[in-house]
Every structure is written in structure tokens, then in C-alpha cells.
Amino acid sequence: MKVYIVTGTTSGIGLELATQLVEAGHTVYGIARRENDIAHHRYHHILLDLAETSKLADVMDEIIKGTSLEADSFTLINNAGMIEPIGMVGEIDSELMVKSIAVNLTAPMALTGAFINALSEKELTKKVIQISSGAGRKGYEGWSSYCASKAGLDRFTEAVSLEELKKPNGVRLVSVAPGIIDTNMQGEIRQSTADEFPLVERFKEYKASGQLSTAQDVASKLIAFFESDQFDTAEVLADLRNL
């Protein structure tokens, strides 16, 4: 039995990942702050705001303890993220900046750490996929918090990967930038003003000209990647469009 733990399964890539993995016969635990419409005996929904980072280690422990006897592999997919606050530093809400770092960076760090700890004595396949962004590899005006959190996620993944490579049965980690996708986050970006995000018209054009990938297609490509042998040899920082 393959067990997948996916964050942000209310909509977008997370919802598609959970749906497609369940349909493929796998067991999926979804962590999100809102409900979704997946009704299947192999899907288990955990209602939790990822900004409540102090609760994440206990949640991970409960998932793994409840399934470890039947599982032959565990995969954690840190997918959840938030683009807010959009705007110039000095003008944006500092509380939203803190929440952005909590959801985009602290939560994946905490979940990854708890995942590694809970499975440290298990000799089975263990994978972590971080859903990163091109914004973590290049700065954009108006996205300072988002860029900082995704860059931090990439560096964190690189560092932990080095640690795990020294272990006889360590966790394999990859941080994947999935490209530009037609999700609720893109809708939020298009609602920005030019003062908040100077490239807003470019992102409106992406939508108008059909340049956005669908969440369904991206989820399918991600699953094909991390279930293939290519995952084991991929660079720690990867771009889905180049795989």
C-alpha cells in the first residue's frame, strides 16, 4: 500500500493530486483548512489551518502510526501555499507576511521534519515533494513574502537532502516548480493593482491567451514524475516543464 500525505487539498493542484492518487488505488491523507468534495474510503481529510504550525508534528505522527503496518511507501507532498500579501514592502500587512511564511515555509519544514522523524526506523520507500515556484528562484516586485518563502523552501530542501543522503535508508527530497497554472492563486494575482504588482497585465494575458496549464494536467505530470525512476535521479531543485 502506498500512502500519500498531501497539503492544500481543497482546490487546485492539491485537490487534483488527491483525486488522481485515490483513483489510482492509493491511500491519501489530505490536510487543508476547508473541506473538499472527495468521497472515497481511501481518502482521509484532516481539517487544519497550516498556519497552526505547532499542531503539525502530532498530525503527522498520527497518520504514520495509523498506517505504517500496511504501508510499503510514504510520500509527503507539501503543496499548500498562499500568494498574499501582494504589494510593496512597507505598505503590506505585517501579519499577512508572518502568515505567508508560516504556510509557505514553516509548515512544510515542520511536516518534513516530523515525517523524517516518524519514519526514521522504517526500511521502506520515503519521498518528500515540495511544490515550489519560479518565484523562489527569481525575485518579483510585489511578491516579497512569496518569493522569500519559496526560496527558503528550496534552500531547506537542498540542506535536508544532503543530510538524508548520508543515511542508509534516507528520505528522497525534490523541490519542484510546476509552472504557471490556472488556479485560485492565479485569480488572486489578476485582481491585484499595477501599484501592488507591476506585472499584473502580463498575468492577465497568460489567462486570456490560454497559456495557463490546468491543475489536472500538472497533477498528472507530477504523479508520473514522482512515481517514475526519474525521481530518484532528478536534481533536488527541479522544474516540471523540463522533466
Instruction: Tell me the whole-structure pTM to 2 decimals.
Output: 0.96
**Which pLDDT tens digit goes with each residue over 83-107?**
999 999 999 999 999 999 999 999 9
Q: What's the residue count for the chain?
A: 243
CA distance 73 to 221: 20
CA distance 137 to 193: 24
Assigned domain for 59 exists? yes
pLDDT at 68 over 80: no
pLDDT reported for residue 70: 87
Residue 78 belongs to a domain with what CATH number? 3.40.50.720
pLDDT at 69 over 90: no
Assigned domain for 195 exists? no
Assigned domain for 197 exists? no
Assigned domain for 120 exists? yes
pLDDT at 231 over 80: yes
Catalytic residues: 146
Assigned domain for 204 exists? no
Assigned domain for 58 exists? yes
CA distance 133 to 90: 24
pLDDT at 243 over 90: no
pLDDT at 117 over 80: yes
Query: What mean pLDDT, rounded, does the chain reach?
Result: 96
Report, as an integer, the average pLDDT of 208-227.
96
C-alpha cell at 157: 530542501
Assigned domain for 91 exists? yes
CA distance 238 to 243: 8
pLDDT at 220 over 80: yes
Assigned domain for 38 exists? yes
Could you give the percent of the chain with pLDDT greater than 70? 100
User: How many structural domains compose the chain?
Assistant: 1
| Residue whose grid cell is 487534483 | 16
Report, as an integer, the average pLDDT of 177-188.
94
Torsion over CA: 33, 35, 38, 41 (sign): positive
Domain of residue 133 covers 2-179+214-242
Three-state SS sequence of 163-207? HHHCCCCCCEEEEEECCCECCHHHHHHHCCCCCCCCCHHHHHHHH
**Which pLDDT tens digit goes with each residue over 31-62?**
999 999 999 999 999 999 999 999 999 999 99
C-alpha cell at 45: 481529510
